[in-house]
Amino acid sequence: MTLQYPTSLGTSDAEHIFLLGQDVAGDLMGEVGFGELAFWLITRRRPTPGEARLFEAVLIGLADHGFTPTAIAARLTYLSAPDAVQGALAAGLLGGGSRFLGVTEDTGRYLADVLADAPDLPKDDAAWDELARAAVARSKAAGKFVPGLGHPVHKERDPRTPRLIEIAHEEQLYGPHLALFEAIGRVHPDVLGKTLPLNGAGVSGAALADLGLPQELLRAAVLLARCAGLIGHIAEEITRPVANSIYLTVDRNARYVPPEVGA
């Protein structure tokens, strides 16, 4: 019996490399953008120009956000092992969890769950607001956060959110996940008693869900974007290093405290 391992991704022979059924050199190189290819690999279908534009806008919005823990981890790992850039990148990507980077997936799943439980899609803003209000109230009663609300830096308005919504409208890709997300933005102050901005990670999750990305791969798309940002941090660390200063600041200000009795 001959063993077979089926794949619809990449294969090669002595003269060709094939990817997604296309000749890499003849059909893809110089003809397809990297963001378009990434979408194609994730969804197994080639995006329309509008889909590629929205997807790439999401990637750009998530590529970097300054000295976040993931960026600091990458820089410090590069300081320790400059001979293994893959380790620095991996260190930064491994920090993509519930507090940083994972919000995109959490929001996409949250919105999808609310929509799945709705008997019908709302027809107007009032109906969307009713659906959103009920969802936020359930989360509050359960003592759970509503993903996509709030940001540690952008307290009033995350500039990425209106721009992605604008692009989705321009490309006629504004779907139910984005509509529900905007409705949450409108109604949550009445339910939670405070006003929080719709953050860029959350709107990215809504946009990616409307584009049809599988829920299981929403965070993967964020990691793809952040990988580019981390490479930028490492490139800057090579020419303008700060990691050693970060390390020394912590190390020289460490203060020993005795362990608590019984801890």
All residues at 6 or more sequence positions from 235 whose CB lies less than 8 Å from its CB, including other chains: none
Check which CATH number belongs to the domain holding 55 and give it: 1.10.230.10
254 in a domain, yes or no?
no
Domain enclosing residue 107, as ranges = 47-245
- Cβ contacts of 181 within 8 Å, gap of 6 or more: 107, 111, 148, 198, 202, 203, 206
Same domain for 95 and 112? yes
Residue 141 located in a structural domain: yes
Query: Which tens digits make up the pLDDT trace of 10-65?
Result: 999 999 999 999 999 999 999 999 999 999 999 999 999 999 999 999 999 999 98
- pLDDT at position 262 is 57
Domain co-membership, 19 together with 115: no
Domain count, the chain: 2
78: Cβ contacts below 8 Å, ≥ 6 apart? 85, 87, 88, 234, 237, 243
Q: Which of 1, 51, 34, 71 is nearest to 233 (CA)?
A: 71
> What is the rounded distance in angstroms from the CA atom of residue 210 to the CA atom of residue 134?
21
Residues 56 and 174 in one domain: yes
CA distance 167 to 53: 8
For residue 96, is pLDDT > 90? no
Q: Given this model, what pLDDT does residue 118 score?
A: 94
Q: Is position 55 within any domain?
A: yes
**Same domain as 70, residue 168:** yes
Same domain, 28 and 119: no
Residue 105 in this model has a pLDDT that exceeds 60 = yes
Whether 2 maps to a domain, the answer reads no
Burial 185-215 (b: 16+ CB within 10 A, else e): bebbeebbeeebbbbbbbbbbbbbbbbebee
Structure tokens at 120: 């019908």
> Please, which residues have CB within 8 angstroms of residue 133's CB and are 6 or more apart in sequence?
187, 190, 191
Determine contact, residues 23/29, Cβ cutoff 8 Å. no
User: 251 lies in a domain?
Assistant: no
Banded pLDDT at 155 (limits 50, 70, 90):
confident
- Predicted structure pTM score: 0.93
Residue 256 inside a domain? The answer is: no
> Given its phi and psi angles, is residue 21 left (phi above 0), alpha (psi -120 to 50 degrees) or beta?
left
d(CA 149, CA 107) in angstroms, rounded, equals 9
Q: Are residues 125 and 23 in the same domain?
A: no
Q: Do 28 and 101 belong to one domain?
A: no
Amino acid 101: pLDDT: 80
- Answer whether residue 201 is part of any domain: yes
Residues 119 and 173 in one domain: yes
Residues 131 and 147 in one domain: yes
